[in-house]
Amino acid sequence: MSSFPSLPESEQQDAKYQNICNNHRHLLETLPKANGWRNRHLYNYNGFWLSPIVLKANLLLHTYFKSHPTDIFLASFMKSGTTWLKALMFSTLNRHRYNFFNHYLHKHGPQSTFPFLDAESYPITDFTTLSHPRLFATHSAHTLLPPCISSGKFVYVCRDPKDVLISKWLFMSKLRAKDLPTLSLDVAFELFCLGVSEFGPFWEHVLSYWRASLESPEKILFLKYEEVKKQPEVVVRKLAAFMGKPLTSEEDEKGVVGEIVKLCSFESLRNLEVNKKGVEKFGKLVEIEKRDFFRKGEIGDWKNYLSDEMKERIDGITDDKFRGSGLSLRETV
């Protein structure tokens, strides 16, 4: 019996990629859509609102990403303290590789320490050149990630949704497509409450990791931004132990934790020249000014923007969504 010769690997990959592109186009034509914050539309994919770029990146991730059991993922909803956690995690994990007087972060922004899995990239990087444990970052909900990723560990950070809303609105307003009308706070507020924002709904996103952390606490370290802000040294110790490199008594005597906290403080990072100029690239299509990742980092800045009625509405949604889950953000505000 004769058979056709198999296609060369490069052609097989090209065919696989073309199938992804076709599926992506089909999804954009058929999925529910709503007004976006940065782009014209967001698309509801498996319960979460994604931009066209992120949707395609997710399809690529499911097809090509090869996980390793030692991988560590930083997950968060947008504007929940991701940049700060990147610096803390990288510095804690690599504290034996760099001294604090001439540190990697003095010359490179925190974004460079974690490949971002939600950016479209093809051919997708195989990340084999990264040292282990490999560090990755994602804004995707836990249920949107490939099953293979569950073999690694996750650090998840959440934040008061009112502060998330304001920070995200200001951030996305800077990135919003120039051919779209200005996104007012009132419109952003309404969309946020309806769950319509990049990677949203916020509450379902948080719960996806909260429930996973209850099922596998050894695999998911669940943090609250407000706790990190108030007790950074405690969090550094948690991170060190969780990532498999607990602090030693000798390091305690040398004040290593304090050095990490000082290096990674919001003010320290924001004042570094490397974080004031230039852009960060995410995949081939997205560029963001480095300075835009450092605004205030304060707890409760929402009070300068939201009315009492707005505050009560978001708090009410949060209470309803989290009821019976065992999770509360009330204690952190």
Pick the closest to residue 226 from 328, 302, 332 (CA basis): 332
Which stretches of the chain are assigned E, i.e. beta strand? 33-35, 41-45, 48-50, 72-76, 135-138, 153-158, 220-224, 279-282, 286-289
Q: What is the rounded end-to-end Cα distance, in angstroms, of the chain?
A: 72
283 conformational bin, left if phi > 0, alpha if psi -120 to 50, beta if neither: left
Judge contact between 65 and 119, C-beta under 8 A: no
Q: State the CB neighbour count (10 A cutoff) for residue 77.
A: 28
Q: Give phi and psi for 280, each to the nearest 5.
A: -105, 135
Secondary structure of 9-40 in the HEC alphabet?
Answer: HHHHHHHHHHHHHHHHHHHHHHCCEEECCCCC
Per the structure block, which two tokens stand in for 69?
């059991």
DSSP state, residue 143: G
Report, as residue numbers or ranges, the catalytic residues: 139
Helix axes 202-215, 161-175, angle to 10 degrees: 120
User: In terms of DSSP H, where are the helices of 221-255?
Assistant: 225-230, 232-242, 249-254
Q: How many CA atoms lie within 13 A of 305 on its CB side?
A: 17
Judge contact between 81 and 225, C-beta under 8 A: yes
